[in-house]
Amino acid sequence: MQIIKYKFADGTTNEVSVTEEFYLLYLQLVQMEKRNIHFYINKCGFSAVEFICEKHAGTSDKTADGKGPGEGPDEMFRFEKVMR
């Protein structure tokens, strides 16, 4: 059995025991997210201008989508693209 740290919508966290098969699928999804970020930067020409995580200075504020802390993803990038 493997352990995944799961964050609930209300901001609480819990460690969940999962089977080896489920854990491997989870790792694949995490890798797909990373590849998606590389696609936007390398192929689409976006720039990552900000990395938002729990240690980010503005985490006590609401994000652009109106969600407060603990209501959205743990980590995210803010992208910009200059149109020429």
Indicate the domain borders of the chain.
Answer: 2-80
What are 35-55's pLDDT values in tens digits? 788 888 888 888 988 887 777
- The residues that bridge with 15 in the sheet, in sequence order, are 5
Residue 52's identity, in one-letter code, is I
pLDDT at 12: 84
∠ CA(72), CA(77), CA(81), 5° rounding? 130
Report residues of the chain scoring pLDDT below 70.
56-73
pLDDT at 20: 92
Integer CA distances (angstroms), 59 to 8, 48, 52, in order: 17, 18, 8
pLDDT at 58: 61
Compute φ and ψ for 52, nearest 5 degrees.
-110, 125
